[in-house]
Amino acid sequence: DIQMTQSPSSLSASVGDRVTITCRASQSIGTYLNWYQQKSGKAPKLLIYAASSLQSGVPSSFSGSGSGTDFTLTISSLQPEDFATYYCQQSYSTPYTFGQGTKLDIK
Amino acid sequence: EVQLVESGGGLVEPGGSLRLSCAASGFTFSNAWMTWVRQAPGKGLEWVGRIKSKTDGGTTDYVAPVKGRFTISRDDSRNTLFLQMNSLKIEDTAVYYCTTDTAAAGTYHYYMDVWGKGTTVTVSS
């Protein structure tokens, strides 16, 4: 199975900050990488698919990049509603696997 | 409105069985690949398994810890997805989400874009 490792596991930041979350795959997965946001007690929400494609309705402050084994999710200017947990997920091969999550909270 | 609604969760003893359902609406369910994802209390997301559309073979894939115990099926006439869970273990305790597994147009890039609110399964004696 492909292992996904996110860093950091937690992150404190302020409104207006630029934030970057990293995800590393245990083998090359091309651009078969998705990012999700999950708020407490809610279902996850798709943000980015195919490493860099923005899902419809997601603010342009979110962006994704990377290929192979190393990927990043960037939030260009944090808004209050962005404080949540973020997960990467590979769709290169089953079983699909998620990173352990990055919890983003208010500094 | 595109919607997924899970049901069937509850409290079950170790070794017991439970059948989860996921009612779909607002899209052509028969064409959709469908997935179950779970989240143990305070933990991250775990992909449980997937079923392809019948047009694409209707085959299933599972994560290792549930293979041989869980079965995903679908009833396209009722727009409903199922997860039959047998020989339940304490570590199966989680919120179970039903999701669509959608391919970006013209590609094999799959992603989970529609999620239900989840149903809670608790395995305890």
DSSP single-letter state for residue B57: T
Minimal CA separation from B49 to chain A, in Å = 7
Residues B116/B6, Cβ–Cβ less than 8 Å: yes
In terms of CA atoms, which chain B residue is nearest residue A53?
B104
Could B50 and A94 be called an inter-chain contact, meaning their C-beta atoms sit closer than 8 Å?
A: yes
Question: How many Cβ pairs within 8 Å bridge chains A and B?
Answer: 65
Q: What are phi and psi of B70, to 5 degrees?
A: -105, 145
pLDDT one-digit tens code per residue, A62-80: 999 999 999 999 999 999 9
- What residue ranges in A2-106 does DSSP mark as E strands? 4-7, 10-13, 19-25, 33-38, 45-49, 53-54, 62-67, 70-75, 85-90, 97-98, 102-106
What was the pLDDT predicted at B28?
Answer: 97
Classify the C-alpha dihedral B48-B112-A70-A60 as positive or negative: negative
What was the pLDDT predicted at A19?
Answer: 97
Alpha-carbon distance B62 to A73, whole Å? 28
What was the pLDDT predicted at B105?
Answer: 86
pLDDT one-digit tens code per residue, A7-51: 999 999 999 999 999 999 999 999 999 999 999 999 999 999 999
Could B104 and A50 be called an inter-chain contact, meaning their C-beta atoms sit closer than 8 Å?
A: yes
* Residue A45 touches partner B, C-beta closer than 8 Å: yes
Minimal CA separation from B106 to chain A, in Å = 12
pLDDT one-digit tens code per residue, B34-50: 999 999 999 999 999 99
* Residue B5 touches partner A, C-beta closer than 8 Å: no
Alpha-carbon distance B72 to A80, whole Å? 38
What was the pLDDT predicted at B94?
Answer: 98
In terms of CA atoms, which chain B residue is nearest residue A47?
B113
Minimal CA separation from A42 to chain B, in Å = 7
Could B112 and A99 be called an inter-chain contact, meaning their C-beta atoms sit closer than 8 Å?
A: no
Neighbouring C-beta atoms of residue B24, cutoff 10 Å: 24
Could B61 and A34 be called an inter-chain contact, meaning their C-beta atoms sit closer than 8 Å?
A: no
What was the pLDDT predicted at A56?
Answer: 95
Q: Which of A49, A67, A71 is most worth mutating to test chain B (most B CB atoms within 10 A of its CB)? A: A49
Measured between CB atoms, which of B44, B61, B63 is closest to A101? B44
In Å, how far are A4, B4, B6, B83, B107 from B98, measured between CA atoms? 22, 7, 7, 9, 23
Residues of chain B where predicted confidence (pLDDT) is lower than 70: none
* Residue A9 touches partner B, C-beta closer than 8 Å: no
